Amino acid sequence: MDTFPIVKKKDLQTHGAYLTKDTILEIYDAMAKAVETGEPYRTVLDPLPGEGPRHPVSSRTPPA
């Protein structure tokens, strides 16, 4: 993730930390835990991938 120096620089300027990297690692850890425990992974993404202003509203129910 250090191959994105502009993102890192802007995160450090804005947040004082490489927030994008920290968030990706937290999500990865949550997905790994879901695999280990058999519990479904619940995304923190909002809007969900494929939804939002550039996509039609999905008929599926979003995760709780």
Q: What is the pLDDT of residues 14-62, one digit of tens each?
A: 999 999 999 999 999 999 999 999 999 999 888 887 777 776 666 666 6
Domain extent listing, the chain: 1-55
Q: Is 52 left (phi over 0), alpha (psi -120 to 50) or beta?
A: left
Tell me: the pLDDT tens digits for 34-47?
Answer: 999 999 999 988 88
Q: What is the spatial distance between Cα 64 and Cα 60, in angstroms, rounded to a whole number?
A: 12
Q: What is the spatial distance between Cα 62 and Cα 53, in angstroms, rounded to a whole number?
A: 16
Rounded to two decimals, the pTM is 0.67
Q: What is the spatial distance between Cα 64 and Cα 61, in angstroms, rounded to a whole number?
A: 9
